[in-house]
Amino acid sequence: MDFKRILVGVDDSADALLAFKYAIHRAKTDQAELVIVSILENDEINVYQALNKDFVHGKRDDLEKHILEYQHEAQAAGVPKVRTLISEGEPGEVIVKDVIPHIEPDLLIVGSEAKKGIAKRFGSQAAYMAKYAPIPVLVIR
């Protein structure tokens, strides 16, 4: 099956980087559009920082610069069409409820860290997306 539009979620984790590398490969193989999304997580900002508009704006600016690096890397690798998107909130929920309906991708590619101990009992963003996304989800480990 060839995909026309692939959505990949990125952050600074090693598993997200693996997902991104695979998304580049798949987009080139299928001659698909690649949409790179990154989510500014609210829980990374404390209440005092959230009240400081300059702090929030600065975090978003940093994220925009970083996601453009991903875009340039995909373009340099030969992906025919690359777009980026930044949103805010809980990553799994935002991607499933907001980004997928807006972008209408054929495939979602995400990374998943192998958690240990109590963390694996509570699930992960990747597990949420795999369960609730209305499209195929490829989880890279």
Evaluate whether residue 76 is within a structural domain: yes
Paired strand residues for 35 = 7, 83
Locate 69 and state its tokens.
Answer: 């690096």
Range of the domain at 16: 5-90+101-113+129-140
The model's pLDDT over 20-45, given as tens digits with 9 standing for 90+, comes to: 999 999 999 999 999 999 998 765 54
Instruction: Identify the pLDDT of residue 54.
Output: 45
pLDDT for 51: 46
- 120 in any annotated domain: no
Q: What is the pLDDT of residue 121?
A: 40
Query: Could you read off the pLDDT of 105-139 as tens digits, one per residue?
Result: 999 999 987 555 444 544 588 999 999 999 999 99
Q: Is residue 78 part of a domain?
A: yes
Comparing C-alpha atoms, which of 84, 69, 67, 11 is closest to residue 44? Answer: 11
Residue 23 lies in a domain: yes
* 69 found inside a domain: yes
How far apart are alpha carbons 7 and 105 in whole angstroms? 6
pLDDT number for residue 141: 83
Q: Is residue 121 part of a domain?
A: no
In three-state secondary structure terms, 113 is coil
Judge whether 38 lies within some domain: yes
Is the residue at 95 inside a domain? no
Asked if 64 and 38 count as a contact pair (C-beta separation under 8 A), the reply is: no
Per-residue pLDDT of 49-94, as tens digits, reads: 444 444 444 567 888 899 999 999 999 999 989 999 999 888 999 9
- Domain CATH for 33: 3.40.50.620
Across the range 1-17, mean pLDDT stands at 92
* Domain tally, the chain: 1
Helix (H, G, I), strand (E, B) or coil at 52: coil
